[in-house]
Amino acid sequence: MIDATDSRLLDALQADAQITAQDLGERVGLSASQAARRRAKLETDGLIIGYAARLSPAKLGLTVQAFVQVQMAAHSPEAAREFLRLIATLPEVVACWTLTGEADYLLRVWCADLPALNLLIHHRLLPNPAVARVQSQIVMDQPKADAGLPV
């Protein structure tokens, strides 16, 4: 269980993972050493599972974000393994979820442009024998950026 101080600490770290122990302590009302110890404990306890840099898709030449729903042709364990092996080789696929409902998987993809998205769908996903159908939605805008978890 986490207390209110840990919640504030986690919230601050989600906003800025590079915050110094001094600044973190000031933000949550602890000394720098107390904040560092609590942070280390949250890491050891598995509440903090890693740190990553957020990159600018536009600066990397990625102008098309899309969600691609995938319906499987078969629901065998081997078909699922084959599909997930394919997904692991596609750098454009930045996230993959299994779903309930009509689609079996939801992919979040970033591509340089629409022809690159078309290539991904028609030359990488659809030719896979495990895939029966795909449906894509192109993101027009993202009014709320990816946010941290509610703590």
Q: pLDDT digits over 73-103, tens only?
A: 989 999 999 999 999 999 999 999 999 999 9
Residues of the chain under the 70 pLDDT cut: none
Q: Which helix H or strand E contains 135, and what residues bound it?
A: strand 131-138
What's the whole-model pTM score? 0.88
Query: Smallest Cα–Cα separation from 65: which of 106, 117, 104, 103?
Result: 117
Predicted local distance difference test score (pLDDT) of residue 148 = 87
Per DSSP, the three-state class of 86 is helix
Predicted local distance difference test score (pLDDT) of residue 147 = 87
3 state SS for 6-41: HHHHHHHHHHCCCCCHHHHHHHHCCCHHHHHHHHHH
Query: Which residues in 59-123 belong to E strands, given as ranges?
Result: 64-72, 93-98, 105-111
Tokens of 84: 């997930």
